[in-house]
Amino acid sequence: MSKDFQLGAINHVGVAVPSIAKTLAHYKDVFGVEGTPVIELPTQGVKVSFVNLPTGQVELIEPLGESSPIVKFLERNPLGGQHHLCFEVDDIHEARAHMITKGVRVLGEPRIGAHGTLIIFLHPKDMGGTLIELMERADEH
Ligand code: CO
């Protein structure tokens, strides 16, 4: 029922960085905020830490291994930078089907993301230059 598709809240903004530890030290100094303990996601080739804020999170992403999908991003942006934007959806499979009917390229099959729920990514060339992550809300299933 793709006509029922409804975009949910912004869950997080993904920021690629060369070093989560250095970024967290800087955020603590400048903003007075802390990040969650770093977790490694070998299947996605990244390490992540979340900075929790009242209206959402900043997801700090550091490459894990040479074949990490964000190695090239950091080559182009050596200081790091905004990498993706994540919106919540009720049902990832419905959302995926909806995107396909709209002609938006979906990058791969739904898979488990850093929050333990299903995610997909939408091709930035179909989304005005921004890589978009859609994430199934944790409380839905
Ligand atoms: Co993300």
The alpha carbon of 12 and the centre of ligand 1 are apart by a number of angstroms equal to 7
Which pLDDT value is given to residue 104?
98
Q: Is the predicted pLDDT of residue 2 greater than 50, yes or no?
A: no
Domain total of the chain: 1
Whether 119 is covered by a domain: the verdict is yes
How confident is the model over 46-100, as pLDDT tens digits? 999 999 999 899 999 999 988 898 999 999 999 999 999 999 999 999 999 999 9
CB 121 within 8 A of CB 99: no
Q: Is the predicted pLDDT of residue 138 greater than 90, yes or no?
A: no
The alpha carbon of 7 and the centre of ligand 1 are apart by a number of angstroms equal to 16
Contacts 24+ apart (CB under 8 A), 65-74: 69/44, 69/45, 70/16, 70/45, 70/46, 73/16, 74/16, 74/18
Whether 74 is covered by a domain: the verdict is yes
Tokens 């396909």 -> residue: 100
CB 118 within 8 A of CB 92: yes
The alpha carbon of 91 and the centre of ligand 1 are apart by a number of angstroms equal to 17
Domain interval for residue 34 = 10-136
Whether 3 is covered by a domain: the verdict is no
How confident is the model over 10-32, as pLDDT tens digits? 999 999 999 999 999 999 999 99
What number of residues does the chain have? Answer: 141
Identity of the amino acid at 130: T
CATH number of the CATH domain containing 129: 3.10.180.10
CB 13 within 8 A of CB 86: yes
- What pLDDT band is residue 1 in, cutting at 50, 70 and 90? very low
CB 75 within 8 A of CB 121: no
Which pLDDT value is given to residue 113?
87
Catalytic residue set: 133
Instruction: State the alpha helices, DSSP H only, in the chain.
Output: 20-31, 71-76, 92-101
- What pLDDT band is residue 37 in, cutting at 50, 70 and 90? very high
CA distance 98 to 30: 41
**pTM of the predicted model as reported, rounded to 2 decimal places:** 0.91
CA distance 103 to 20: 35
The alpha carbon of 30 and the centre of ligand 1 are apart by a number of angstroms equal to 23
Whether 5 is covered by a domain: the verdict is no
